[in-house]
Amino acid sequence: MPDRVVVLIVASGAAWEPPALERLGDDPGIVVLKRCVDVDDLLAAATAGQADVAVVGLEAPGLDRSAVDHLRKHGVRPIAIAPGGVTLDGGRLRASRIGIQLVVTDDDLAALPDAVTAAETATVVRMPRGAPPDGPPVVATASPGRVVTVWGPAGAPGRTTVAVGLAAAIARRRRRTILVDADPYGGAVAQQLGVLDEVSGLLSAARLATAGQLAERFGSVQRGIDGHLSVVTGLPRADRWVEVRSGSVEHLLEVAREHGEVVVDTGFSLEDDPGSEFGSRPGRNQMTLGALDVADQVVVVGGADPVGLSRLARALVEVRELDGSRAVHVVVNRMRTTLGWSERDIAEMVTGFARIAGLYFLPEDQVTTDRALVAGRTLAEVGDSPLTRAVSRLADAIAPVESVTGS
* Pairing mode of beta strands 229-232, 223-224: antiparallel
Residue 252 and residue 137 in contact, taking contact as beta carbons nearer than 8 Å: no
Q: Which of 45, 95, 92 is nearest to 212 (CA)?
A: 95
Domains of the chain, start order: 5-117 (3.40.50.2300), 147-403 (3.40.50.300)
Q: Cα separation of 80 and 58, whole Å?
A: 5
Structure confidence by residue, pLDDT tens digits, 136-191: 333 333 578 999 999 999 999 999 999 999 999 999 999 999 999 999 998 899 99
Q: Is the pTM of this model over 0.75?
A: no
Q: How confident is the model over 196-215, as pLDDT tens digits? A: 877 899 999 999 988 888 98
Burial 245-277 (b: 16+ CB within 10 A, else e): bbbbbbbbbbbbbbbbbbbbbbbbbbeeeeeee
Distance from C-alpha of 18 to C-alpha of 372, rounded to nearest angstrom: 65
pLDDT, averaged in runs of 10, over the chain (407 residues)? 83 92 94 94 92 93 85 93 75 80 91 86 33 33 81 95 97 94 94 87 92 89 92 94 90 94 96 59 85 95 96 95 90 94 91 91 95 93 94 93 51
